[in-house]
Structure 1
C-alpha cells in the first residue's frame, strides 16, 4: 500500500465535483446516423481538412440551445434559488491533458459558439487539444488553483463559478465531453451545466432504411440534464433536435446547410415543435 497527498494537478477536479453535488442528473440517449456528417466531412476534407465529430456536435448543439432558452440556463441554489436564462451560448469542452507529469481533465470554454462557423469551431477545438495547459492563458485560473492551499482554492473556485453572471465565461452554458477515441458505446457525464452531451465512438452499425437493413456510421450520443432546471420533455426535445440537425447536416432544410467547407452561418434547429 502507498498513501500520498491528493495531487495538486487534480485539485480543480475535486473542487468541481464538490460544487455539483446538488445537481439532480437525469440521463437520456440517442443513436445518431452520421452518414450526412461523414459525407460533409469528406467534402470539407478535400478542401483542407475535415472537422472532427466533436466540432459538428458543438456546431449543431449550440444552435439548438439558442432555440431552447429554457435549457440554455443555469441555477444558483440556496435559500432563494434563481435561474438565469442566457442570450448567448457558450460551450464547455472537456479535454484529456497532461500537466505536471500527471494526466488530468481540463475544460475550455468557447464563447458565442452559436455564432461561430464550423471551421472556426474546428480550429478552436484543435488549438485547445494541441496546446500546453502549463502555458496557455485560458488555463491560468487552473494553474492558480493548483498553487493555492486547498481551503483557499475551494473558496476561489466557488467565487469564480457560483455567480450566475459569470457562468457563460467560466463554465459555459452547456458541456460536451467525448470518449469517442475509445471503443465505448455509451458515455454519460455530468458537466456542471444544465445540459451535458457525451459522445461515444462512431462505428458502423445496422440501421433500417426504406424497409431494408444496411450499415451506417452511428454516434452514441447521451444527454444529461439537471432536473432542477428543466424537465424531461424539454431535454428530450433538445436531444431530438440535435439528432435531427446532425442527421440532416448539409441537406436542404437541415442545420449546417452552408458551403461544403463548413462555414455555414447561424441557423436554428432543423425542426420546430408546436
Structure 2
C-alpha cells in the first residue's frame, strides 16, 4: 500500500498552527459555572428598543471580565518560560481578545481581535468594536494586516516572526490581549474549554432555558454555561475561582 500524498496546509491556517505551537508552554486548568442571564437579556432587550443596538453576549462578558481582572493583577498578567527562568509581566490595563469566525482570503479561519482598555470601556464602545470587526472585510481591515503579512512570508520566516512576537511580554497584551474570550454559543454548544494564549480564557456557550432555584422554589431561567481556562504557572485555582465567580456575579447584576 502506498501513502496518500496529501497536500500542503492552506497558508490561511498558518497563524493557527504557529499559535498552537506557542501555547504548548501553557499549563491549563479548567473551571466552569452557570450564569443566570435574566438581567443581561432584559438589558439587551431594553437597549435594542431604546437605541436600536443589539449587544452581543460576548460584549457583556468582555466588559464584566475587564472590570474583574483589573482587581486581580496576578490574573491580568502574562508569563514567559517554563520551570527554568520564567518571567511574568503584570499590566496596568486590561485588553480582551475575542476569537472570531471569519473568512479570510476565501477560507474560513479563526481571527482574534483585541478590545482595548476594558477596565474602563463601557458597553457601547465594546459593541462598536465588535460590530466593526465582524461586519468589516478581513481582507481589508487594518486589524488583521499582521496576519495577512504573516501568511505571505515563507513558512520558516513566518514561524520565527510569530514566535518572536508571542515571546515579547511588551507586545503580547496588544497582540493577544491580557485575557481571551471565545464563544460557540451561536450553535448547539452548551460549554467548552479553550486556551486563548492568555493567563485566563473564558469560554461562552449558548444561553438555554434551564431549571434554577430561587427563593426556595424551582423556576426556569435563561442560563449560560461559562468556562474559564487558567494558566497554572501564573495563578492558582483559588484566585481563578474568585475571578470566575466575580464575572458570574457581574453578569447576574447587570
Q: TM-score, normalized by length of structure 2?
A: 0.96
| Cα offset, 1:120, TM superposition | 0.7
Correspondence for 1:50:
54
Correspondence for 2:14:
11
What secondary structure does 2:132 align onto? helix
Task: Tell me which of 93, 97, 103 is aligned to 1:98.
Answer: 103
Cα deviations by residue, 1:133-187 (Å, 9 ceiling, x for unpaired): 1100110110011010110001111122211111111110000000010111111
Does structure 2 retain, via aligned residues, the 8 Å contact 1:43–1:50? no
Correspondence for 1:160:
165
Please give the root-mean-square deviation of Cα atoms over the aligned residues, in Å.
Answer: 1.0
Correspondence for 2:145:
140
Cα deviations by residue, 1:205-236 (Å, 9 ceiling, x for unpaired): 11011111111000010000000100000000
Task: Tell me which of 183, 191, 195 is aligned to 1:186.
Answer: 191
What secondary structure does 2:156 align onto? helix
Partner Cα distance (2:106, 2:134) in 1: 17
Does structure 1 retain, via aligned residues, the 8 Å contact 2:203–2:228? yes
Cα deviations by residue, 1:86-134 (Å, 9 ceiling, x for unpaired): 0000001100011121110010111112211101101111111111111
Correspondence for 1:228:
233
| Cα offset, 1:69, TM superposition | 0.6
Correspondence for 1:35:
38
Does structure 2 retain, via aligned residues, the 8 Å contact 1:76–1:82? yes
Task: Tell me which of 46, 66, 73 is aligned to 1:69.
Answer: 73
- Are 1:25 and 2:35 matched, yes or no? no
Q: Hey, which bits of structure 1, 4+ residues long, moved more than 4 A?
A: none
Does structure 2 retain, via aligned residues, the 8 Å contact 1:28–1:223? yes
Task: Tell me which of 113, 127, 131 is aligned to 1:122.
Answer: 127
Task: Tell me which of 182, 198, 205 is aligned to 2:203.
Answer: 198
Unaligned residue ranges in structure 2 (runs of 5+): none
What secondary structure does 2:128 align onto? helix
Structure 1 residues 250-265: aligned runs within 5 Å: none
Does structure 1 retain, via aligned residues, the 8 Å contact 2:22–2:166? no
- Are 1:243 and 2:241 matched, yes or no? no
Unaligned residue ranges in structure 1 (runs of 5+): 250-274
